[in-house]
């Protein structure tokens, strides 16, 4: 890294320009992330939009901008910075995985996770045979057909674990039943997706910061109705291949309401940050052409953007936390999304005397209930 930044071919103004570029990126990323958070959207979408603004789609069309502020020669060094960010992100992702939560839910979550991997993977394989010819247009040729097929299939199977955790936390569903199920499934999906992506990278024989994806996204490459239709096709296949198996398997395994199953399907369709990083790797390995890269970026952004509105419409607007469950001389869990698990205990004598003196029971429990909080543990 030191050798790269010590390149003698760099002009004397490189370091001041690099710091200025970094300042512009960070400020614009924060502003767009804050604006998107006002409409209950993950900040990652605002960060990508900031990259699109800085990249060739908007400001990149201005000659003064590309000559003096963001010359193309500086992109290689931002790629290096992005790779360092990718390493740190993957390390942090491993730290956030809660093995205890996955262990508790694995019997019910594993069939759901497998269905949301196998079906999207198979759909991606089928779609890749058509996209391979699209990818080879404009003189671009993927290094290996097998690598391309594996990569497209992998990109269809991802669920964004960090973005999903952020959405569940902001909606106070992380500690609820739906949060445990979706987090467990997303963790399994991401592990399998990254393993498949590593295999695709090995076939390709190739060698962030999130906004780097946006800086490489050129919306002008989709100024044709044909490519616009291909983008819609990719979005439809990716969404249906994720939503339907999650919806059906949740209904079978969890035996909850249709709204619950629909909410799980919507959450599992969140791709976000993990998908963007995977696509960025595909571009670096020359598996994806810039045009197809842009199509897949749009798919990842739209599937993430629609998650919160659909989740509210299908589930949150009618969702009510379950009331405390009072057990017979036993400990019962009180499940409030976003709070701790509280355990309450009632004296057994009032329950056992129900047949002999129901009036006393009625009078007793018409009074305000003051449970004893015997255990308080973080979920």
Any domain includes 277: yes
Residue 373: per-residue pLDDT: 37
**Entry pTM:** 0.66
The domain that holds 232 is classified in CATH as 1.20.1530.20
78, 110, 137 - which closes a domain: 78
| Structural domain span for residue 364 | 332-377
Give the total number of structural domains in the chain: 3
- Measure the CA–CA gap between 174 and 169, rounded to whole angstroms: 5
90 belongs to a structural domain? no
Residues 72 and 111 in one domain: no
Quick one: 212 and 360 in the same domain? Answer: no
66 and 113 part of one domain: no
Q: What is the pLDDT of residue 123?
A: 94
Whether residue 101 sits in one domain with residue 61: no
Specify if 323 maps to a domain.
Answer: no
Asked if residue 371 and residue 277 are part of one domain, the reply reads no
What is the residue-level pLDDT of the chain in tens, covering all 379 positions? 444 445 545 556 677 888 888 898 889 888 988 888 788 777 767 777 887 788 766 787 788 887 878 887 777 777 677 777 767 766 776 676 666 766 776 778 889 999 999 999 999 999 998 888 887 776 667 667 888 888 888 888 888 777 787 788 777 787 788 888 888 888 788 788 778 777 776 666 544 445 455 555 555 555 667 888 899 999 999 999 999 999 999 999 888 889 999 999 999 998 877 787 788 788 878 888 888 888 888 898 888 889 888 998 999 888 776 554 444 433 334 343 433 333 333 344 444 444 444 444 444 444 444 444 333 333 3
85 falls within a domain: no
């Amino acid at each position: 890294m030191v050798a790269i930044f010590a390149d003698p071919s760099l002009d004397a103004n490189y370091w001041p320009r690099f710091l200025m570029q970094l300042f512009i990126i960070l400020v614009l990323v924060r502003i767009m992330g804050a604006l998107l958070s006002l409409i209950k959207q993950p900040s990652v979408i605002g960060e990508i939009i900031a990259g699109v603004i800085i990249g060739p789609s908007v400001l990149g069309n201005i000659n003064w901008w590309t000559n003096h502020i963001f010359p193309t020669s500086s992109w290689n060094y931002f790629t290096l910075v992005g790779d360092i960010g990718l390493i740190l992100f993957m390390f942090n992702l491993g730290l956030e995985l809660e093995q205890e939560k996955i262990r508790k839910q694995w019997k019910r979550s594993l069939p759901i996770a497998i269905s949301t991997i196998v079906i999207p993977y198979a759909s991606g394989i089928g779609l890749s045979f058509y996209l391979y010819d699209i990818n080879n247009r404009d003189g671009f040729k993927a290094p290996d057909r097998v690598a391309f097929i594996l990569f497209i299939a992998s990109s269809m199977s991802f669920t964004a674990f960090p973005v999903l955790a952020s959405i569940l936390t902001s909606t106070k569903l992380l500690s609820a039943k739906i949060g445990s199920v979706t987090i467990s499934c997303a963790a399994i999906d991401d592990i399998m997706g990254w393993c498949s992506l590593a295999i695709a990278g090995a076939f390709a024989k190739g060698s962030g910061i999130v906004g780097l994806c946006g800086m490489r996204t050129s919306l002008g490459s989709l100024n044709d109705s044909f490519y616009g239709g291909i983008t819609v096709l990719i979005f439809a296949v990716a969404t249906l291949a994720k939503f339907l198996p999650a919806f059906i398997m949740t209904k079978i395994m969890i035996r909850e309401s249709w709204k619950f199953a629909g909410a799980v399907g919507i959450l599992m369709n969140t791709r976000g940050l993990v998908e963007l990083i995977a696509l960025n790797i595909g571009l670096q390995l020359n598996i994806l052409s810039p045009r197809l890269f842009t199509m897949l970026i749009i798919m990842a952004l739209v599937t993430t953007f629609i998650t919160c509105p659909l989740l509210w419409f299908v589930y949150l607007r009618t969702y009510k936390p379950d009331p405390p469950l009072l057990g017979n001389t036993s400990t019962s869990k009180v499940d409030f999304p976003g709070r701790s698990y509280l355990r309450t205990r009632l004296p057994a004598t009032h329950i056992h005397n129900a047949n002999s003196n129901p009036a006393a029971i009625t009078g007793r429990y018409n009074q305000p209930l003051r449970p004893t909080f015997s255990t308080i543990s973080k979920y």
